[in-house]
Chains A and B, each alone.
Chain A
Amino acid sequence: MDFDLTEEQRLLQDSVARLLGDKYGFEQRKAYMKAGDGWSREIWSQFAELGLLGLPFGEDEGGFGGGPVETLIVAEQIGRYITLEPWMSTVVIGGGFLRHGASQELRNELVPQVASGEMLLAFAQVERQSRYDLFDVATTAKRDGDGWVINGRKGYVVHGDSADRLIVTARVAGSQRDQKGIGVFLVDAKGPGVERRGYRTVDGQRAAEVEFSNARALAVLGNPEDGLPLVDQVVDECIAALAGEAVGAMQAVHDMTIDYMKTRQQFGRPIGSFQALQHRAADMLVALEQARSMSYFAAMSAAERNPEERRKAMAAVKVQIGRSARFVGQQSVQLHGGIAMTIEYAAGHYFKRLTVNDAMFGDADHYVRYLSESGGLVAAA
């Protein structure tokens, strides 16, 4: 058991921290948000130079050869600076589908493009009725010659507006809530039959509503008749990364809050000298450290081979991260007072990212239910 980073991992952490420390101040972030794509192409190419876009791919295919711990390291920095670039969508989710579901031919074609930053991917999964159920899919895919044709509508496709390719879950057989009969398809985002309406999300990121009208799939990812296990696996890996992002954001906003408590004067002394506020800050630290512990558990469990065990572990991760993120986010605003209610101040932006992070692929309440229905973590005896 060893929680220390290797020399290589420390270098990775330092290089990301240095880049974002230089280029991702709060004012710079605001400027990126307002520019063309709602994020920075310049930062994106620097991510590519650092190897962050090829992070999970093997070195033999031009990647960085990173595993769950490397993903955690980068995700934490992303959270610390609440960056806006489509790293999670393209590298963690898109990269996950390529690694676990793409044919060798497709990997050969796409991995170098993803790693170099030319190819952006987005995951089109949410539907009006599905809420957090990955298997609740009404969008259809029908065979057409030797290909597939997609029809339906997807919402909250994170970074769907700037993506080059969409990874779409669609029903091949069965009824809307069947576990079987779901396929995963790669679709040209700019191709015929795809209509996108981009928008900004509350946490400053971008997303799109996407309609598919007889859109032809470029490729199938995994088994078209039974793609749900693939989706589960990729989403679980993303949950582990989201845990890192949340911990990074919690750490940043907690630091910010403690600094503020030391400088803000009321009643002739720093507000950090008041015990009521000290105890709240201590409770925030407890929540943060429990979350950090759980992010390590997530990294450990991402490679778990038994899918039921992996799902249960990630459900537990979502519960702890979500509970901690809510508490740390809300209390950092509370302890700051009015200043954190202004859009000009960073704390509120961390709070918003943490709130959205909790809900990604299901919030804490959703996973408490899932885990309790799956028998929990401790067997009766």
Chain B
Amino acid sequence: MDLRFTDEEIAFRKEVRDFIAKELPAETRERMIAGKSPTKDQVVDWQRKLNARGWAAPEWPKEAGGPGWTLAQRYIFREELQQAPAPSPLGFNINMCGPVIIEFGTEEQKKKYLPRMLNLDDWWCQGFSEPGAGSDLAGLKTRAVREGDHYVVNGQKTWTTLAQHADWIFLLVRTDPAAKKQEGISFLLCDMKTPGITVRPIITIEGGHEVNEVFFDDVKIPAENLVGEENKGWDCAKFLLGNERFGQARVGASRERIRRLKVIAQESMDGGRPLMEDPDFRRKVTEIEVELKALEMTVMRVIATETKRKDKKPDPATSVLKIKGTEIQQMCSELLMKAAGPYAWVDGDPDEEGASNDVDVAPDWAFGLAGVYFNWRKQSIYGGSNEIQRNIMAKAFLGL
């Protein structure tokens, strides 16, 4: 049992940190420190810088255009990005659709899509959830009917994150309505410019436009855009959802938020002294720091066991990552909002141009913190809600 990083891994961390310090534009970093999402241009620019360095897809194998890193290197790389903070490689491209094409796609599909995914020439979005299929994803109804060399798709997807930026969408459709619900599903790739697609914004509680509804009205998708076999799309979906074992822990991101919290709580006054000097507040911060340290060690355990494991069965510790990772991030966002006191209540999406603080109504450090708090309630809902995670744990690990 050796619980430290190796010298090579420590050197690798420095290499990543130096690269970020040199290449990450200051505006991107400042925007993220302020708690805002990076703009589309900032994400694209950064992804291309990573791609030029060969680092655009940390988890991909070398032959697909990845760097061929060990699990520990991938973890270190992502942690350094998160705590910089810098944008992560675009998840839809790199962690969702890309791996599915690598695993299930044809050679033509790999050649056509993967390089453009890496360089973010195409921005992808995910068409999984539907109004009637959330946690019960296999209950999806969007219908695809084969007609000659096309599928004709009709139906509605929802919660489609950043569809407004997307060039392509990967989606689950029902190709055999007579089969049992998991067995009649297929995985399709679709150009967002195809006639019949309508994207309608969903404005979330904090006022931001992040998610959308996507309507398909007689949309013709070439049959060659089917990934894997027809009616075997659920295998792709399961692979995609189970693919990321430690991505949702986001230890580096939470560490960055705690650092930020300590700065803000030093600025914000309470009872005539900085809030950070209030023992009750400080203890709340400490409780989160301890949980985060334990989570960090849990991530290490998952990396260490998965590196050796051949059967690809997840470690029981894996199940902790989503639940604890999101709980910690949500607690951080809540304390950040509370730290801002009355100045947290200026409404408006900080990502929007012409946001309220452009007319100087609150200290810059306070603006938008409530928005992030409200927005981050999504974390325990998406990616398999935390209650679904508990169901999985009860079944898979406890045998209940």
Contacts and interface: CB of A to CB of B under 8 A. Distances in A.
Interface of A: 1-6, 9, 69, 258, 261-262, 272-273, 275, 278-279, 281-283, 285-286, 289-294, 296-297, 299-300, 316, 319-320, 368-369, 371-373, 376-381
Given A258-B400, A282-B390, A294 B293 contact: yes
B39 to A, nearest CB: 24
Interface string B370-399: 000000000000000001011101100111
Given A278-B391, A283-B390, A290 B298 contact: yes
Interface in B255-309: 255, 258-260, 262-263, 266, 276, 279, 282-283, 285-287, 289-298, 300-301, 303-305, 308
B324 interface: yes
Given A2-B1, A4-B1, 4 more contacts: A1-B5, A285-B319, A290-B324, A293-B297
Interface in B205-258: 255, 258
A286 B319 contact: yes
Given A372-B283, A378-B258, A381-B263, A316 B290 contact: yes
A316 B296 CA distance: 13
Nearest to A261: B400
Interface residues of B, number: 54
B25 interface: no
B395 to A, nearest CB: 8
A299 to B, nearest CB: 7
Contact of A281 (B266, B324, B389, B400): B400
B289 A316 contact: yes
A296 B255 contact: no
A369 B283 contact: yes
A5 B1 CA distance: 5
21 contacts: A1-B4, A3-B305, A4-B304, A69-B1, A258-B398, A272-B398, A275-B394, A279-B391, A282-B394, A282-B398, A285-B393, A286-B323, A289-B316, A290-B291, A290-B298, A294-B297, A296-B297, A296-B300, A371-B290, A372-B282, A376-B285
A105 to B, nearest CB: 34
Contacts of B305: 3
Contacts of A279: 387, 390-391, 394
A1 B400 contact: no
B301 A293 contact: yes
B286 A368 contact: yes
A1 B2 contact: yes
Q: Provide the main secondary structure of the chain A interface.
A: helix
Interface in B313-343: 316-317, 319-320, 323-324
B178 interface: no
A316 B316 contact: no
Contacts of B2: 1-2
A293 B298 contact: yes
A273 B399 CA distance: 10
Given A368-B287, A380-B266, A316 B293 contact: yes
Contacts of B260: 381
Interface in B132-177: none
A297 B1 contact: no
Given A1-B72, A4-B1, A293-B298, A285 B398 contact: yes
A69 B398 CA distance: 27
Interface of B: 1-6, 9, 72, 255, 258-260, 262-263, 266, 276, 279, 282-283, 285-287, 289-298, 300-301, 303-305, 308, 316-317, 319-320, 323-324, 387, 389-391, 393-394, 397-400
A1 B297 CA distance: 11
A380 B4 contact: no
B397 to A, nearest CB: 6
A258 B399 CA distance: 8
B320 A290 contact: yes
B69 to A, nearest CB: 14
In this complex, the member of B255, B279, B283 whose beta carbon has the largest number of chain A beta carbons within 10 angstroms is: B283
A372 B297 contact: no
Nearest to B300: A1
B1 A378 contact: no
A242 to B, nearest CB: 16
B294 A281 contact: no
B324 A1 contact: no
Q: Which 10 A-B pairs have the closest CB atoms?
A: A380-B262, A293-B297, A278-B394, A282-B390, A372-B286, A282-B393, A372-B282, A272-B400, A290-B294, A293-B298
B23 to A, nearest CB: 20
Given A286-B324, A289-B316, A379 B390 contact: no
Given A293-B301, A377-B290, A281 B394 contact: yes
B397 A285 contact: yes
Contacts of B9: 1
A282 B388 CA distance: 11
Contact of A378 (B289, B294, B391): B289
Contact of B304 (A1, A300, A319, A368): A1
